[in-house]
């Protein structure tokens, strides 16, 4: 099976220093968001090259990658899924495959690759119901998918859904949701600063501080200062 060959190729690029560093970077300790994730120590450019060498893996082989305990194998599998989505005339086939295996988007780098470029792209012209359903999930990663998948809409200057989710996520308990939301707000601000400032004026006192910091990153110091108040909510 070609998936065996792919796994061997990945291990040729394993780096011991990265293998020791990545579990700390992705917070794999007990009680952390990436608890239990395992790393070979392969960097993204090498994973990408390997994924590009296996464009024709069957879905049953892809699932062996997506359900692997090794992070790089899952990442490689998702890259192949994305490549197939981009090259296929049948986008729905690969979107459906992704949704069936959605729980395997289980770390922020996997979410941030697939949510905007596949899920968000497919749902861009469709209704908001799926985003709203995901935003109420008990899974941190599914909730992150909901906000990051609005990125194609933002690029087309459609901000309503993102702002709706951002307001909801003000009360989310997870730091990774606050950061993702601040990131998407910042992207809105690049295109329509008035829209961002309006949202901030209405909500900044209730927002987690890290969300405020991310949202305002590109604004000048004077504009930042009016929102960087002690009343911004800190999450411990």
Contact assessment for residue 60 and residue 73, using Cβ atoms and an 8 Å cutoff: no
pLDDT computed for residue 223 by the predictor: 80
* Cα(38)–Cα(113) distance, integer angstroms: 19
- 87: three-class secondary structure by DSSP: helix
CB atoms within 10 A of CB 40: 18
**CATH label of the domain that carries residue 168:** 1.25.40.290
Strand partners, 38: 70
What is the number of structural domains in the chain? 2
Give the total residue count for the chain.
Answer: 236
Measured in degrees and rounded to the nearest 5, phi and psi for residue 208 equal: -60, 140
Write out the H or E segment, with its range, that includes residue 68.
none
- Asked if 131 and 108 sit in the same domain, the reply is no
Residue 34 belongs to domain with CATH number:
1.25.10.90
Do residues 140 and 103 make contact, with C-beta atoms less than 8 angstroms apart?
Answer: no
236 residues of the chain, pLDDT tens digit each: 799 999 999 999 999 999 999 999 999 999 999 999 999 999 999 999 999 999 999 999 999 999 999 999 999 999 999 999 999 999 999 999 999 999 999 999 999 999 999 999 999 988 899 999 999 999 999 999 999 999 999 999 999 999 999 999 999 999 999 999 999 999 999 999 999 999 999 999 999 999 999 999 988 887 877 787 644 555 54
Count the Cβ atoms, other than its own, within 10 Å of residue 101: 17
Q: Of the candidates 123, 150, 176, which is a domain's last residue? A: 123
Residues 100 and 10 in one domain: yes
Domain boundary among the residues 123, 146, 167 is at: 123
User: Shortest CA distance to 93 belongs to which of 101, 102, 84?
Assistant: 84
| Same-domain status, 134 and 113 | no
d(C-alpha 153, C-alpha 149), whole Å: 8
Distance CA 158, CA 50 (A): 36
* Residue 185 lies in domain: 124-236
């Amino acid at each position: 099976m070609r998936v065996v060959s792919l796994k061997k190729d990945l291990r040729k690029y394993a780096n011991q220093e990265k293998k020791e560093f990545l579990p700390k970077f992705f917070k794999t300790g007990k009680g952390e968001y990436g608890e239990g994730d395992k790393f070979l120590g392969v960097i993204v450019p090498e994973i990408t090259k390997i994924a590009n060498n296996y464009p024709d893996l069957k879905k049953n082989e892809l699932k062996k990658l997506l359900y692997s305990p090794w992070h790089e194998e899952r990442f490689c599998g998702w890259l192949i899924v994305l490549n197939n989505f981009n090259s296929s005339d049948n986008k729905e086939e690969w979107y459906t495959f992704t949704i069936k295996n959605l729980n395997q988007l289980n770390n922020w780098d996997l979410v941030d690759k697939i949510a905007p470029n596949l899920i968000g792209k497919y749902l861009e012209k469709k209704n908001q119901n799926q985003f709203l359903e995901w935003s109420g999930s008990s899974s941190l990663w599914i909730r992150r998918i909901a906000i990051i998948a609005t990125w194609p809409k933002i690029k087309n200057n459609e901000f309503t859904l993102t702002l709706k989710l951002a307001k909801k996520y003000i009360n989310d308990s997870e730091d990774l949701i606050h950061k993702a939301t601040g990131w998407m707000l910042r992207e809105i601000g690049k295109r329509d600063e008035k829209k961002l400032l309006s949202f901030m004026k209405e909500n900044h006192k209730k927002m987690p501080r890290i969300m405020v910091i991310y949202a305002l990153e590109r604004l000048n110091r004077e504009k930042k200062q009016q929102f960087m108040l002690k009343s911004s909510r800190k999450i411990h």
